Chains A and B, each alone.
Chain A
Amino acid sequence: MDGSVKLDEVVMRFGDFTAIEPTTLAIESGEFFSFLGPSGCGKTTLLNIVSGFLTPSEGQVLIGGEPMAGVPVNRRPTAMIFQNLALFPLMTVFENIEFGLEVRGVDKRTRREASERLLSLVALEGSGPKLVTELSGGQKQRIAIARALAVEPRVLLLDEPLSALDLKLRQHMRAELKAIQRKTGITFIYITHDQGEALTMSDRVAVMSAGRIQQVADPMTLYRSPSTGFVASFVGENNRLEAKVIDRQGERVRVDAGLLGELPGRAGAQAPLGNGQAAALYIRPEHLRPVTQGASGPQLEVDIVSVQFEGASLMLQTRLVASAELLRVQLGSELAKRASTGSFQPGERIILGYDPDDAVVLPDDGSPRLDEETGEVVETTAGTAGAVQPSGGADVRSA
């Protein structure tokens, strides 16, 4: 059973608006593949193209190696789990699950056996005769999964299926979804704007922005080696420092970070970084750590603005002394302990260091990135180097 999905130069236009820019992508059979991106970036559109609800303006979709052009929704080897689940409210749980089999002319007894089996797969034995309106949110979720699996799809398409659930249930369902995927070996294509979901469940993730796939990689690579500024800011938290490339030797890059002076970093994957090019240095909060004056390696002098205790870690909001830019620092539990003995108080001046391997340098390619304060996508125009004055940065010492 080949559940591979290929997108071949797929483009989707609505009138003048291009929702999906030319996209080529191969999803392997049995893979848990996620599309991750902010609202409106075209995730649902892409899913609808795979399921057949939309016909791409250009390019083609292949499922199991077969071109899907002209194959209507009800003939495709896919099944969809809708964001609002779309269970049939006038039918019982049994009837819901068996609907797809009824359509295929499966006899009543075989249907009932199949639905009993699926109910035990989703751990809801015995609720078959109930009306779906009598179920709780999490139970409905499972029935939707069972209903989709009943037709034995080669590819299961999930459009933010957990977004309606509360946090606890959502985390529980993540594990459950992943387990079901392993057990069945079906290709899962999962859509979400929640990076936690994408990173914990997926074999590979495609990060999307404005109709374009920014990077396709396994979660670890995505986190460690983002290939564009957008991915660096959207996946996990990142501090961004604007800079100019001084020189590059293999992986290692030296940049001129304006008022901060010269800083070392690691070149992002396949990033073309010529000398003198406008770039950005991305350092994650957990990769920054306090160092003593005169220690080797890069040094950044900051004032602590505020401190947030988060149980296992300590989150510091700091301001760079040289450029007044904000920098977020996450201290692990060992260091966090020191806060209880009077260290790391607001107003304190400390020196931060980092391992150059942990700081990724990416060309400032004008790709859209997330504004860290509003969480919205902003277009950065290429070449506007120089420190961006963070809002509300009046007086450094006022804290």
Chain B
Amino acid sequence: MFDFLKSPTLTFQEFISLAGRATINIVRRPFHANDMMIQMDVIGVGSLPITVLIGFFSGAVMALQMSRALSQYGATGQVGQITAITLVREMGPVLTALLVAGRNASGIASELGSMKVTEQIDAMRALGTDPVKKLVTPRLLAMCCTLPLLTILADMIGIIGGFIVAVPMLRLTTTEQYWNNAWRSLEYNDIAQGLLKPLVFAYIIALVGCLYGIRTTGGTQGVGRATTQAVVVASVWIFVFTFLITRVFVNL
């Protein structure tokens, strides 16, 4: 009767088990530090330009959207606050994560997927290397280090983008008021959820990418399938978790 639930439940179990093994391996020798540095470069440095672009435009469009609503209430002075809060709480983490999911969940899934179908992962085990330690843990760690940093960057650039729309372009407020307003409005609660979210998303992106890669079957076609699935599944979970985390923080 509940057969349709069997496959998602199994996948979820596999996900939890992979998450556990990858996390435990963080404190176990040997450390594949070199692999981690390479991944940080691929994920972090590789995503820099596009993070800056997306951050800038999401801040700018936020200020633009709010300008009309705020002027109706004669509250255009609050534009800094609104931009900062929406960016730090929601837009920065989610947009950066979606972007990195698109770039790197797919990248990880296709890389590990091709390794799976060419039996490199089997060869690794046969030759005495734990693929979770060698492939999954470095990617997870690299993602956990870089995604929060990318998010902070996106937040900052976004607030600058909002500034450019609010002050030089639309003259909604003064430079000083914008920055004062933006800075003062951010509370401990905002910063906490703004940093917790990218950490959770980093887990989701890295592990979904790895899981779908490692589970790949069916040759090169299978690699394509795994790649698409990884991006879709990671994106959906990002939205589900941003809701859950926000739900918790709203009550605090």
Q: Do A and B bind each other?
A: no
Q: Which residues of A contact B (CB under 8 A)?
A: none
